[in-house]
């Protein structure tokens, strides 16, 4: 690892939502953030749902997002590794993004040692107890046959249908992204606690949840949810010693908590 360089994490840009105008404002802000960290970044992790929807046809991709794509290509051309995790909204990224932008696509959770600390990193969708309906749908969406069938739809219809579905899904969730449900109801916290029974991790880092969270699972382990760039504009920074959640161009309330089992030990 390079001395004095930092590791950056961001998630859930959801570019394309809720409309072109708002998405463009957000995209320009993300590009400013990437530009601001390019001289101190050793690696960058994008933890999924960069796009609110993405599907690559053999000869066509969704319109837009060229500013972000250009900036990412610029950073990888500078030699900065960028790890792009598949989310539940952009799981149909195939070979275009890694080939053209030079990123490393990650399609599941990974274990990695960074600057001497052990990390467990993923998007976070479908992990933990419950949510069986989504877990079933996820299997369908990731099925190659279903992907082939969707690709038979004309892009105007297929992308339009998917964008409509995404909008309805977001409307149905309401303000859930602003509520912390507590240790016993947060699925990712429960998932992390179960994983820690078999293996130690210093940091367990996810997106998906949208709410920026720092939660002490034990005296040696933390669960971090990076938050989103729709409401919070938060990102994570690891300097080799400490992990910190920060906000770009503003302030965001970060949920901080400690496991009751940790307190009682």
Per residue in 157-216, pLDDT (tens digit) is 777 766 666 666 655 555 667 889 899 999 999 999 999 999 999 999 999 999 999 999
Nearest to 40 by CA among 5, 13, 75: 5
| Alpha carbons 263 and 228: distance in angstroms, whole number | 29
Rounded to 10 degrees, the C-alpha dihedral 83/87/90/96 comes to 20
Per residue in 243-263, pLDDT (tens digit) is 999 999 988 899 999 997 665
Residue 250's pLDDT is 87
Residue 46's pLDDT is 98
Structure tokens at 210: 């949208």
For residue 117, is pLDDT > 80? yes
| Alpha carbons 100 and 260: distance in angstroms, whole number | 47
CATH class of the structural domain 6-264: alpha beta
The residues spanned by each domain of the chain are 6-264
Residue 71's pLDDT is 98
Over residues 123-127, mean pLDDT: 91
Q: Quickly state the pLDDT bin for 79 (edges 50, 70, 90).
A: very high
Per residue in 11-69, pLDDT (tens digit) is 999 999 989 999 999 999 999 999 999 999 999 999 999 999 888 888 888 899 999 99
Residue 108's pLDDT is 95
Greater confidence (67 vs 88) lies with 67
Cα 66 from chain centroid (whole Å)? 19
Over residues 134-143, mean pLDDT: 72
Greater confidence (90 vs 215) lies with 215
| Alpha carbons 109 and 79: distance in angstroms, whole number | 24
Residue 168's pLDDT is 60
């Amino acid at each position: 690892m390079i001395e004095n360089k930092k590791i950056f994490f961001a998630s859930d840009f959801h570019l394309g939502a809720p409309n072109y105008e708002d998405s463009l404002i957000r995209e320009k802000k993300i590009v400013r953030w990437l530009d601001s960290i390019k001289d101190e970044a050793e690696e960058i992790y994008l933890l999924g749902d960069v796009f609110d929807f993405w599907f690559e046809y053999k000869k066509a991709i969704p319109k837009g997002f060229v500013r972000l794509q250009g900036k990412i290509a610029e950073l990888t051309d500078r030699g900065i590794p960028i790890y792009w995790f598949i989310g539940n909204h952009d799981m149909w990224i195939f070979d275009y993004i890694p080939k053209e932008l030079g990123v490393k696509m990650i399609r599941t959770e990974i274990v990695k040692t960074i600057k001497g600390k052990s990390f467990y990193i993923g998007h976070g969708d479908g992990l933990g107890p419950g949510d069986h309906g989504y877990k079933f749908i996820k299997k369908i969406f990731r099925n190659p046959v279903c992907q082939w069938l969707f690709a038979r739809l004309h892009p105007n219809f297929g992308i339009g249908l998917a964008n409509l579905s995404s909008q309805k899904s977001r409307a149905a969730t309401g303000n859930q992204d602003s509520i912390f449900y507590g240790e016993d109801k947060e699925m990712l916290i429960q998932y992390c606690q179960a994983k820690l029974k078999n293996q130690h991790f210093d940091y367990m880092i996810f997106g998906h949840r949208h709410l920026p969270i720092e939660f002490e699972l034990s005296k040696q382990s933390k669960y971090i949810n990076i938050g989103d760039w729709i409401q919070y504009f938060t990102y994570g920074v690891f300097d080799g010693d400490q992990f910190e959640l920060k906000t770009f161009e503003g302030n965001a309330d970060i949920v901080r908590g400690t496991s009751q089992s940790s307190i009682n030990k």
